[in-house]
Amino acid sequence: MNNRNDHQTAPRRGFLKSLVLTSAAIFGASAITAVPAQAATTWKVQSVWDAGTVGYTLFEDWCNGMEEKTGGELKFKCFPAKSVAADNNALFDAVRNGVLQGMNPFTLYWSGKIPASVFLSSYPAGPDQPHQWDTMFYSMGMLDKTREIYRKLGLFYVGPIQHDANIIHSKKPVDSLDDLKGMKIRLPGGMVAEVFQQFGVSTVSLPGSDIFPALEKGTIDAADYVGPAVNYELGFAQVTDNILFGPPGVMSIYQPVDLMDLTVNLRAWEKLSPKVQQIVEDEVRNYSQRHYLTIQKRNIEAMEKFKASGSHVSRLSQEDLERFRRAAIPVWYKWANKDEDARAIFDMQLKYMMNDTVGYITPDDIKGME
C-alpha cells in the first residue's frame, strides 16, 4: 500500500510543480508585456533658419526622422529662429543652461564668445572648398580640438553642417576689388569687415530681416548674405541688379564655405547611450551632405531666376583673390592670437594651406608673422 501510494503521489507532485512553473512563466510574461515602453528622450533644438525657408524645411524634415533612426530612444522637437531664444546670444545661453538641448547655428556667430569659432567656418581667402573643411574636421583632428574647446563651456559640438557660400548683391556693377571703394556694404563683422575696410568699403552690420528694406531705400549700396537660393527667396532680385562672385569655381572670396553645426548641451549629451550618441554623430554627417547638395541644386535654379529678372553676374579675378589674401593674412594672425584655442585651430589650418596638395600659402606669404 505504502509503495503504491508513494508511486501515485510522485506524478501528482510533478504535475503540480509543472503547473506552478507554467503559471509563473505566464505571469512573468504578462508582467513584462504590461510594463509600458520607455518614452523617448525629447530634445528641443532651435535653428537659426526662419520658418518657411528652404533651410528650415530641410532641418525640420531631418529632425522629424531622428526618433525612428534611434529606435525610439531620442526625439528632436525643432523650432525656427527666435521661437524659444530671441536672438543669437540668447540661443547660446539657452543651450548652455538646458532651456534648449541643442542648436543649429552658423558657427561664426560665437566669435565673441569663442574666438576660435572664426576658424571653424570659412574666413577671408582661407580654405574655400567644402571638402577641405571636411578633411580638416574628420581627418586632421580639428573635430576633437573643437569639442575640447566647447566642453569648457558646457557644450558638445556634434559636427559641422555644410551650407553654402555667402555672396554680395549690389545696386551697381562691381568688376574688381577697386570698384568696391567708397561703397557702403552690409557685411558680417569681425574678420570679414576688417579685410573689406582695407579696400575702402564702409561696412554695416544688419540682421538678415533688415537687408531688403535697406537695399530698397538705398541706405546701403550692396549686401552680403547667404547663397542664391535663399537670397532669391528673400527678394534680392527686386532691389539689386548685380551679383558678385569670386573667380571661376569660387563663389565667394570672403566666406566661401559658411558652415553651420549641431551643438548640444553637454549634460544632455552625456545622458545618451554610446549607441545613440554614435547615431546622432552619423546623422549629422549624413544631413550635412543632404543639406549642402539640396542647397546647391536650388542655387542653380535660383541663378536662372536671377538672370531672368535682369541680374548681371560679375566675377573677381584670380589676381583679386591673391590681393585679398595678402590683405587678409595679418587679420588671420590678429584673430588667431586672441587666445590659445584660436591659435591651435588656426595652426592646423595654416599647415594644411601650406601643404602642396592645397598650396594657398607659401613661407614668403607669412614671413614676419607671429
Give the rounded distance of the alpha carbon of 247 from its chain centre: 25
Contact at 8 Å (CB) between 258 and 122?
A: yes
- CA 299, 303, 306 angle in degrees (round to 5)? 135
Is 255 one of the annotated binding-site residues?
yes
Residue 103 phi, psi (nearest 5): -145, 155
Residue 243 phi, psi (nearest 5): -125, 130
Residues forming a β-bridge with 104: 47
Is 109 one of the annotated binding-site residues?
no
Is 323 one of the annotated binding-site residues?
no
Burial 271-289 (b: 16+ CB within 10 A, else e): ebeeebbebbeebbbebbe
What single string gives the DSSP state of each residue in 120-139? SS--TTS--SHHHHHHHHHH
Residues forming a β-bridge with 103: 46, 263
> Distance between CA 30 and CA 174 in Å, rounded?
75
Contact at 8 Å (CB) between 247 and 16?
A: no
> Distance between CA 105 and CA 95 in Å, rounded?
11
Binding site, by residue number, is: 166, 186, 224-225, 255
Annotated binding-site ranges for Na(+): 225
Binding positions for substrate are: 166, 186, 224, 255
